[in-house]
Amino acid sequence: MPEQEFLPPRRPAGSRGPGPHGRHAHQDEDPPPWATLPPVRPARPDADGEEQAPPGPRRAPGGRAPGGRALRAAARRRRRWLVLLAGLAVAAGAVTAVLLLAGGPGPAPVTPGALITTFQPGELQQVPNACGALPAATVQQYLPGKVNVASPLPVDGSAESACDWTLDRAPVYRLLELNLLAYAPSGLASGDGSATFAAIDAYDTSLQDMKSPPPRSPGPPAAITTLSGFGNQAFSAVQVFRTGGAVTDVATVVVRYHNVVVTVTLNGLQHSDRGNYGPVSSAQLSAAALALARAAEATVH
């Protein structure tokens, strides 16, 4: 017989036995995470015109598709990024809420070179009632007798208060006027526009008008005395008004404390063409106005 080559029996197509190259050798073995994921192909219509879904990855026995580990790892990475982004969004919202809540009643932070639009520490948004700012005993000391008290209507709400005390019994005539005014921040003010700078401007204007009254002003130039150790700024002024046959001496004290300006004016008739009024001492008027201004300024501390 001719010598024949021995060949092992052929197995049916598609069936491989167990072994290192057999079908079951890679049943549970997934490619590493960096393996290329299966491409995505667009759907295409079949012969009947029906659209067919793109072929998915081949599934190994047991229902697990090759590359499953890489897909799961990618999904985990996407979930971690989503959680991180969500956390950052929550944190940003919390910071925004804190910044908005922090802008309440307290003073806002000041940017160098920028205008100040809020009240700063030490500044007042309202002043006490002027008629209650001076003790009755103090008023009686300098206006002895029956005093009439009147409170003019305020023009700036709680930021301003005024009061008048009048004593009219010959030979004594006195008119005491007290005005308390808290200034607000203003873009028209000098410096940084703060409430304090607005009050400084008002104080300087009052001082200048006393020294050199504007044209057509009924007030004559005043004798000015700068006061120290009293508020942040203070001065006193004495003027003599002559109207008709009457002569009136007026002592004024103006004090600035932060953004509040306190003004005390005390009038006394030196001589009148009607009635027996006077005389009055200018020095006594000035001393009384200074004492009353100190008492009023203490109420805004």
- Tell me the pTM: 0.63
Q: Phi-psi bin for 158: left (phi > 0), alpha (psi -120 to 50), beta? A: alpha
Residues 133-159 have a mean pLDDT of: 91
Using 50, 70 and 90 to split pLDDT, how confident is the model at 35? very low
Give the pLDDT confidence score for residue 275 in this predicted structure.
76
Distances (CA, A) of 44 to 40, 56, 58, 139: 12, 14, 19, 103
Q: Give the best-scoring range by mean pLDDT among 15-19, 35-39, 150-154, 234-238.
A: 234-238
Give 12's contacts (C-beta < 8 A, 6+ positions apart). Answer: none
Domain residue limits, the chain: 130-300
Element of type H or E holding 165 = strand 160-169
**Token pair listed for 294:** 């100190």
Check whether 294 has a pLDDT greater than 50: yes
* More confident site: 273 or 23: 273
**Does 173 have pLDDT greater than 60?**
yes
Burial 124-145 (b: 16+ CB within 10 A, else e): beebeebbebbeeebbeebbee
d(CA 252, CA 223): 10
pLDDT over 60 (residue 137): yes
Q: For the chain, how far is it from start to end, CA to CA, in angstroms? A: 132
Quote the pLDDT of residue 29: 46
Is residue 237 within 8 Å of residue 285, measured between CB atoms? no
> Which stretch of 8-22, 108-122, 160-174 has the lowest confidence by average pLDDT?
8-22
Output Rg (C-alpha) for the chain, integer angstroms.
Answer: 47
| Of 135, 131, 161, residue with least CA distance to 148 | 131
**How many residues are listed for the chain in this entry?**
301
- How much is the mean pLDDT over the chain? 77
Is pLDDT of 259 > 80? yes
User: Helices marked H in the chain — which ranges?
Assistant: 68-102, 130-133, 136-142, 195-211, 282-297
Distance of CA 90 to the CA centre of its chain: 25
- What is the pLDDT at residue 240? 95
Distance of CA 284 to the CA centre of its chain: 46
When pLDDT is averaged across residues 267-294 and rounded to a whole number, the result is 91
pLDDT above 80: residue 48: no
Residue 53 scores a pLDDT above 60 = no
CA proximity to 193, closest of 108, 263, 128, 253: 108
CA distance 264 to 174: 13
pLDDT of residue 98 exceeding 60, the answer is no
When pLDDT is averaged across residues 232-259 and rounded to a whole number, the result is 95
Provide the pLDDT for residue 106: 46
Give residue 103's pLDDT.
42
d(C-alpha 270, C-alpha 251), whole Å: 12
The pLDDT assigned to 9 comes to 45
pLDDT at site 102? 43
Contact 38/72 with Cβ under 8 angstroms? Answer: no
Question: Could you report the per-residue pLDDT of 194-225, keeping only the tens digit for each?
Answer: 999 999 999 999 999 999 998 888 889 999 99
Output 243 or 131, whichever has higher pLDDT: 131
Q: What pLDDT is attached to residue 274?
A: 77
Beta bridge partners of 150: 164
Among the residue ranges 113-117, 264-268, 273-277, 281-285, the one predicted with the least confidence is: 273-277
CATH code that applies to domain 130-300 = 3.40.1000
